[in-house]
Structure 1
Amino acid sequence: MISSVRGPVQHIGLDHAVVEVGGVGLAVQATPATLATLRRGQEVQLATALVVREDSLTLFGFADADARELFGLLQTVSGIGPRLALATLAVLEPDKLRAAVADGNITVLTQVPGIGRKGAERLIVELRDKVGPLTAADGPSTRVDAERVRGQVTEALLGLGFPAKQAEQTVEAVLADDASIDTSTALRRSLAALGRKK
């Protein structure tokens, strides 16, 4: 089991990055939000899960071990393979996914392409007792989350070549509208806002 990789980023694609480890370039499948935080030539460390099939070995990468754990749990649900598990984490960050499962929120879960009402119901039934306790959304915790999102999205925009000041102002404006949004949503809204400014 390859549980993590560390090395310089050689290439960033739409759905994967190539990380050089010991002179070997490893293709790592990842979510758009994770890929957006990477820069070519920059040293990176990703938590990983290796999925072995008869005809392939596929490495999936995550920003942290928490996301990797959820990736594994999702695949214990009948009908969910590694691609759909990754798609779920691309749409729903770990905390949002846990909250949706704990609350039985089918509407949120069906936002994931490939998960219908029955699939969402299976997720809730099979994972409700496994996803772990939710942290209370008190003031300080919410502020820490907002700071984390601000830093990650700003870093991602810088990696995409936007000027630092413009990136910071855009992220600030997006979070001023809704400080509770996750990194993926904040990044999408920031990119949309920057696109309108061109």
Structure 2
Amino acid sequence: MISCIRGEVLEIGLDHAVIDAGGLGYRINTTPATLAGLRRGQSARLETTLIVREDSMTLYGFADPQARELFGVLQTVTGVGPRLAMATLAVLEPDQLRTALSTGDIKTLVRVPGIGKRVADRLVVELRDKVGVVPGPDAGESGGVIGGPVRDQVVEALVGLGFLARAAEQTVDAVLAEQPGAGTAVVLRASLTQLGAAR
């Protein structure tokens, strides 16, 4: 099992990246949010899962272990394979997905191409008690729980892109103060915009 890959980003496509690790170029299928945090020619680290089929071996990559765990959990549901699981994570941030599953939010789940009401119902029934995070009754409390890992992930991504740790932390804190419930991709984009303007 290949659980993670670190190396230089050689190529960034619409749904994948190629990372050079130990002289080998690994094609890794991933989500738009994860691709947004990669830069060609710079070092990156992705959590990965290798799916082996009779006619293929496919690597799927994630910015953090939480997303990789959800990718695996989604596939325990009948009718959900790697492609649909990845599509789900492309549309919904891990925190959004956990919340939708734990609260039975069918409307949010059916936003994912390939997930109809029947599959959404099955996801909720089978995964409601497995996702691990149930939002608190107060939005502020929920934001506090989510903000920690989001902050850490975005700061780590910015430092990996070459920004100073202190500048990254200050910028991410400012973005989260304005958008306390924002997901990783939103915070990363806003932080990059602010840091780019400051240069």
Indicate the TM-score class for this superposition, using the shorter chain for normalisation.
Answer: 0.7 to 0.9
User: Contact between 1:37 and 1:152, CA under 8 Å: does it hold in 2?
Assistant: no
Q: Which 5+ residue runs of structure 1 have no aligned equivalent?
A: 160-167, 191-198
Q: For 1:1-198, what aligned pairs fall within 5 Å after superposition?
A: 1-134=1-134, 136=136, 138=141, 140-141=144-145, 144=148, 147=151, 155=158, 172=175, 176=178, 178-184=179-185
**Counterpart residue type for residue 53 of structure 1:** R
Change (3 A) 1:146 1:20: closer
Q: CA deviation at 1:43?
A: 1.2
Q: Could you report, residue by residue, the CA deviation over 1:160-198 in whole angstroms, capped at 9, with x for unpaired residues?
A: xxxxxxxx7xx95x984x5423234567899xxxxxxxx
Change (3 A) 1:152 1:100: farther
Change (3 A) 1:147 1:189: closer
Q: CA deviation at 1:94?
A: 1.2
Q: Could you report, residue by residue, the CA deviation over 1:39-69 in whole angstroms, capped at 9, with x for unpaired residues?
A: 1111111110001111110000001111111
User: Contact between 2:32 and 2:90, CA under 8 Å: does it hold in 1?
Assistant: yes
Percent identical: 54
The separation in 2 between residues aligned to 1:147 and 1:28, in whole angstroms, is 25
Change (3 A) 1:180 1:149: farther
Corresponding residue number in structure 1 for 2:168? none
User: Contact between 2:37 and 2:188, CA under 8 Å: does it hold in 1?
Assistant: no
Q: CA RMSD in A?
A: 3.1
**Counterpart residue type for residue 99 of structure 1:** T
User: Contact between 1:152 and 1:183, CA under 8 Å: does it hold in 2?
Assistant: no
**Counterpart residue type for residue 123 of structure 1:** L
For this pair of structures, how many residues does the alignment match? 179
Change (3 A) 1:84 1:126: same
User: Contact between 1:106 and 1:120, CA under 8 Å: does it hold in 2?
Assistant: yes
Q: Which 5+ residue runs of structure 2 have no aligned equivalent?
A: 163-170, 192-199
The separation in 1 between residues aligned to 2:72 and 2:114, in whole angstroms, is 18
TM-score (norm 2): 0.76
Q: CA deviation at 1:15?
A: 0.4
TM-score (norm 1): 0.77
User: Contact between 1:101 and 1:124, CA under 8 Å: does it hold in 2?
Assistant: yes
The separation in 2 between residues aligned to 1:56 and 1:95, in whole angstroms, is 31
